[in-house]
Amino acid sequence: MSEPLPFLSALERPFSLSLRLPRVLFGDGCARELPQELERLGATRPFLVGTSRGVAALRQACPEANSYPAFAGARMHVPVEITEQALVALRQAKANAIVAYGGGSAIGLGKALAWRTGLPLLVVPTNYSGSEMTDFYGEKMGDSKRAVRDDRVLAKVVIYDQGETVGMPMSVTMTSGLNALAHGVETLYAVDGNPLLATIAETGIAHLADALDVLSRSPTDRTRRAGALFGSWLCAIGLSAVSMGLHHKLAHIIGGALDLPHAETHAVLLPYVVDFNAPAALCAVQRLKRALISDSPALRLQQLGWAGGTRRSLAALGMGVADIPRIAALALEAPYPNPTPLDSEGLVRLLTRAWRGVPLDNASH
C-alpha cells in the first residue's frame, strides 16, 4: 500500500478561499511595458511616486515616464503628513492613475493615495517586500502605526522585472528577502489558512531561501534575482488572503512606536518568532523544514540573515531594553491570532532574546 501524500490530513479541515490578485507581468526588461499597461487601463495622466532615486531609475528604465508628474518624497512607515503632501501634488496634476516604483515605502505611499482617491494603482517593485500583492498597508500617525485593509489599495497591475533589482544593495536584498520569508511563514500557520495557500507559501519560501543564499555571495546573479522576486510574489499571495500573526503585529508596533526600519525589524524578529511558535505549529514546521532543507528552521533563518550581513538584534537597530515591556503590553492590547497563546511573560522573553540577538542552536524547533 502506497504512503499517503505529505500533509494530506490538512484536507480534512473544511476551508474557503477567495483570491483577488493583480494582473502580473514577469520578466527581464518588462518595466518598459508600463505605458502599454496604463493605456490598457485607460490611464492618460499617471502620477509617479517613489524616492528621488526611484523616480530617476524608472525614468531611465522607461523613457515615457519622463513625462509623468511625480512625487519623490516617499518615506519609511508612510507618515500621514507625507501622504497629504503627495495628495496635493496628485490633485494638482489631475492624475487618473498612480504608479509606485520602489520598495515598501514607495508602494505604501501609492496605496495611501489609492485609498484616499480610488485611483488605480500600478506597481513596479524593486525589492522583495511583497507589499505589491496585498490589499493592506500601514501608515504612521504620530508615534503609532495603523493598518488599513481595503480593496482600493490592491494594485491593478504589478510588473516584476529582475533587471530593476540587480543593483539592489545587499543589505536591502537580505532584509527585504527576510521580510518576504516572514509573509510565507505566517501564511503557513495562519488561523484562516488552507492547503493551497500553504503550498504556494512553501514554494515561495524555497525559492527565496535558495536565492538569498546565492545572492549573499553573487549579488548580480540574474537567475537568482528572478527567483527571489518569484518567491516574494508567492509568499505575498499567501499573506494577501490570510490574517496576519504575531510577527507582523510586533513589527508594526515596533515600527510605529520606535520608528525602527521596517524590513530590518522583520529580519531580526523572524527566527525568534518562528522558534516561539514552533511547538504549536507542527505542520507549518514540517513545511519549513522541507522548504529550507533544514531540521531547524529557526536556526536556518537566523543563519541566512547573518550570512547576508543583516543586523543581529533589536538593540543594534536602536531599541532600548526599557522598551521591551512597553512593546509587549502594546502587542497584548489587540493581539493578532497566533498558534502559541500570548501572555506578557512569553512576549517579554521573546523580545528579550531578539533584543540581545541570542544565537539559536540545533535544539531550536
CA dist 178 and 232 (Å) reads 9
Task: Locate 205 and state its grid cell.
Answer: 519560501
In total, the chain counts a number of residues equal to 365
Q: Does domain 23-164 bear CATH number 3.40.50.1970?
A: yes
- The pLDDT value recorded for residue 105 is 92
pLDDT in tens, the chain (365 residues): 455 555 556 666 787 888 889 999 999 999 999 999 999 999 999 999 999 999 999 999 999 999 999 999 999 889 999 999 999 999 999 999 999 999 989 999 999 999 999 999 999 999 998 899 988 888 888 877 788 889 999 999 999 999 999 989 999 999 999 999 999 999 999 989 999 999 999 999 999 999 999 999 999 999 999 999 999 999 999 988 888 889 988 998 998 889 898 889 999 999 999 999 999 999 999 999 999 999 999 999 999 999 999 999 999 999 999 999 999 999 999 878 899 999 999 999 999 999 999 999 864 55
What's the CA gap between 336 and 334, in Å, rounded?
7
Confidence (pLDDT) at 1: 46
Question: How would you classify residue 357: left for phi > 0, otherwise alpha for psi between -120 and 50, otherwise beta?
Answer: left
Which residues neighbour 124 within 8 Å (Cβ) at sequence distance 6 or greater? 31, 34, 58, 99, 100, 101, 102, 158, 159, 161, 164
CATH 1.20.1090.10-classified regions of the chain:
171-356
| CATH 1.20.1090.10 for domain 171-356 | yes
Q: Identify the pLDDT of residue 361.
A: 80
Region of residue 171 (phi > 0: left; psi between -120 and 50: alpha; otherwise: beta): alpha
pLDDT, position 140? 86
pLDDT the model gives residue 303: 95
Where do you find CATH 3.40.50.1970 in the chain? Answer: 23-164
Instruction: Identify the three-state secondary structure at position 363.
Output: coil
What pLDDT, on a 0 to 100 scale, did the predictor assign at position 107?
96
DSSP string, 281-326: -HHHHHHHHHHHT-S-HHHHHHHHHHHTT----HHHHT--TTHHHH
Q: Which residues pair with 159 in a beta bridge?
A: 25
DSSP states along 122-153:
EEEE-SS--GGG-SEEEEEETTEEEEEE-GGG
